[in-house]
Chains A and B, each alone.
Chain A
Amino acid sequence: MSTPDTSVTRRDLLVGAAGALGGAVLAGLPVSADGQEAAAARPTVPADPTKLQGGVTTQVGTRSPFETPTRAPYGETVGNSLTPLQDLTGVITPSDLHFERHHAGIPAIDPERHTLTIHGLVDRPLTFTLDDLKRFPQVVRTYFIECSGNGRAAYRDPKPDMTPQKVSGMISTSEWTGVPLATLFREVGASPKAKWFLAEGGDACLMTRSVPIAKAYDDAMIVWAQNGEPLRPAQGYPMRLLLPGWEGNINVKWLRRLELGMAPWMTRWETSKYTDPRPDHKADMFTFVQQPKSIITAPGYPREVKRRGWHAVNGLAWTGKGKITRVEVSTDGGKHWSDAELLGEVRPKAAVRFQQMWEWKGQETILLSRATDETGEVQPTRSALIARRGIGTDYHFNQIVGWKVERTGQVFFHGET
């Protein structure tokens, strides 16, 4: 994108939120390129907001000027922007902060001209408009999407000054609305001979990935809505493929074509990219499923633990294999672990927030989290993962990560687990 995708600009605030704050003067708004808090210059608000009328109603809401979460980095056509995990609570990622990964930028698409064509090994090839799709019975489900490159920098070269966003910001969770792919495959009369299908996006690289047909009869969807409104352009507007629990790239955005066939197509993205080199000098292909993973998002660099006493250490856990059944937290660098509380509903292939109360007495320590899923798979340490896959492996980094708390209360990333 050519312009920063921050949702609140200085001008918006001066024009909109200044009114909302009853004529308050907004001086020196914090601006940050890396999602960290600006140290100085807080917005100015009335000393006592109960003594004057507040702002007027508005067409579109904006965040409080005190809250400035931003994706980072940004401005790339072929690149990514990461979700500011340290600024979020609960499990739903606000749509304007959902991480991005594009291979040819975000296409501008007129939903009335966009169609989805399903052909190949089918009885009746069909082309569907968005309106056609909305006439099928709809389903609403909450799932995460995670880029399989998420955590690469923290795996290969962990550094103390990495934020939760930098360590693991390519995971986002949304409530999605759409139609089961199985419904559409019934409509076209998918052949029992079909073993794979090709999904093609309508962006400038015509993104293509091959998908085993079984996923269509499990939980695959074509979705057009996210968190109660149409998909954001960066998330595939007007429709995308959603393959719950599978690596982000295969959830093809701006979906325009599905072709059913007998074998994978071996596209660029499933051969030269998105394959896993192995220490025995081979490579695994089609390793779609995201493995159990967790990260503490509070505390986390650069935010300090400001006071001694009780803190609600919390973070996110997720797995593409089903449900998270357990998250353990260690507050002493891994000597002891205890089960954290899972907040809210545990859903398959969706993030869940965990929490562990921790009393800080001023000591230096390391906080860690470790997730287990319903298949019994446990999140490995970084050294165990390196032993299994090699330092040069390219995707699916689910190593245990944590935070070192200094005596000063300063917090730094701890990646060498």
Chain B
Amino acid sequence: MRITLILLSCTVGALTACGPSDGTPRTTAVASVDYPAFGPMVGARLGLGRTPDKVALAAMDTDIDAEGTALPPGRGSAEEGKTLYAQQCAMCHAPDGRGMLPAFPRLLGRDPKAEGFVFADDAKLPHTIGNYWPYATTLFDYIKRAMPLTAPGSLTDAQVYALTAYLLAEDAVIPKGTTLDAISLRAVKMPYVDRFLWSDEVGASR
């Protein structure tokens, strides 16, 4: 850590000359701290840590990326998903899927007012799955890792496929009655994916 002392130009003058125009005194020196970047640190290793337990790592490593590369075997239908929704989801997200804000978002049905991706124009528009979500695979990943709230991670892969199919069908992304598996889920294109902009560069808001 490097500490530099920045002396404002007025410190060479009389102290009172540096204050606000009303003449009240104030401190004129500001210490400034710089932190160097860590860099790639290509030196010697310390030999700490151990090889991960294969079974434990496989149990944790359930993430599904945007391409759906690691989607597991199994299949589920929107029809099965409807039954599961009533049993597992409706208590928080409501039987009609309108949700319970702010904690439990709307799950069923797009909002016609939000079509055209006009979210910046109106703070009240719900970011529904069909109106907003760019990737269908995200639904599978998230439902499997985090839902239902009362028993996270308890759904089978077939149940997760079924719920994913039901939610997508209710939002008119796929036809009602669709059955999803790894191959068909990978093929789902979300209506507004082309509206999302990103790069590998680190960014801030515009």
A binding-site residues for B, Cβ under 8 Å: 76-79, 104, 117, 119, 124-128, 132, 135-136, 141, 156, 180-183, 185-188, 195-196, 198, 200, 204-206, 208, 212, 214-220, 256-257, 259, 261, 263-268, 271-273, 275-279, 281-291, 310, 320-321, 323, 338, 341-348, 355-357, 359, 388-396
Contact B60 A272 (CB under 8 A): no
Contact A390 B45 (CB under 8 A): no
Give A280 to B33 CA distance when docked, in angstroms: 40
Give A79 to B120 CA distance when docked, in angstroms: 23
Interchain residue pairs with CB less than 8 A apart (8): A104-B149, A124-B51, A187-B45, A268-B138, A271-B196, A284-B205, A286-B203, A356-B20
Contact B120 A278 (CB under 8 A): yes
Nearest 8 A/B pairs, CB to CB: A390-B120, A126-B49, A277-B119, A289-B204, A285-B198, A205-B146, A266-B66, A78-B103
Give A249 to B163 CA distance when docked, in angstroms: 26
Q: Given A272-B132, A285-B196, A218–B37 Cβ distance below 8 Å?
A: yes
B binding-site residues for A, Cβ under 8 Å: 1, 3, 19-22, 24, 26-27, 30-35, 37-43, 45-46, 48-53, 57, 60-61, 63-66, 102-105, 116-125, 127, 129, 132-135, 137-138, 141-142, 145-146, 149, 152-153, 195-206
| Complex interface: chain A residues within 8 A of B125 (CB) | 392
| Complex interface: chain B residues within 8 A of A357 (CB) | 19-20, 22, 24, 26
Contact A119 B57 (CB under 8 A): yes
Q: Which residue of A lies closest to B141 (CB)?
A: A267
Q: How far is the CB of A107 from chain B (nearest CB, A)?
A: 11
Give A414 to B200 CA distance when docked, in angstroms: 38
Give A341 to B195 CA distance when docked, in angstroms: 44
One of B27, B52, B57, B121 near A279 (C-beta < 8 A): B121
Q: How far is the CB of A329 from chain B (nearest CB, A)?
A: 10
Give A320 to B205 CA distance when docked, in angstroms: 12
Contact B204 A125 (CB under 8 A): no
Q: Given A219-B38, A264-B198, A287–B22 Cβ distance below 8 Å?
A: no
Give A273 to B132 CA distance when docked, in angstroms: 10
Give A311 to B33 CA distance when docked, in angstroms: 29
| Complex interface: chain B residues within 8 A of A126 (CB) | 48-52
Q: Given A76-B103, A391-B123, A287–B203 Cβ distance below 8 Å?
A: yes
Give A321 to B41 CA distance when docked, in angstroms: 23
Contact B205 A265 (CB under 8 A): no
Q: How far is the CB of B60 from chain A (nearest CB, A)?
A: 5
Give A278 to B122 CA distance when docked, in angstroms: 11
One of A132, A220, A287, A395 near B49 (C-beta < 8 A): A132
| Complex interface: chain B residues within 8 A of A128 (CB) | 48-49
| Complex interface: chain B residues within 8 A of A206 (CB) | 145-146, 152-153
One of A182, A257, A261, A285 near B38 (C-beta < 8 A): A182
Contact A200 B60 (CB under 8 A): yes
| Complex interface: chain A residues within 8 A of B200 (CB) | 195-196, 212
Q: How far is the CB of B175 from chain A (nearest CB, A)?
A: 23
Give A104 to B135 CA distance when docked, in angstroms: 23
| Complex interface: chain B residues within 8 A of A346 (CB) | 30-33
Q: Which residue of B lies closest to A348 (CB)?
A: B35
Known: A208-B141, A264-B198. 14 other contacts (CB 8 A): A117-B60, A125-B51, A127-B50, A182-B40, A206-B153, A214-B202, A216-B38, A219-B35, A277-B120, A284-B205, A286-B202, A345-B32, A347-B32, A391-B123
| Complex interface: chain A residues within 8 A of B24 (CB) | 310, 357
Q: How far is the CB of B57 from chain A (nearest CB, A)?
A: 6
Give A266 to B35 CA distance when docked, in angstroms: 31
Q: Which residue of A lies closest to B143 (CB)?
A: A268
Q: How far is the CB of A388 from chain B (nearest CB, A)?
A: 6
One of B21, B26, B63 near A341 (C-beta < 8 A): B26
One of A218, A310, A395 near B205 (C-beta < 8 A): A395
Q: How far is the CB of A312 from chain B (nearest CB, A)?
A: 10
Q: How far is the CB of B110 from chain A (nearest CB, A)?
A: 13
Contact B48 A265 (CB under 8 A): no
Give A81 to B200 CA distance when docked, in angstroms: 33
Contact B34 A345 (CB under 8 A): no
Contact A186 B202 (CB under 8 A): no
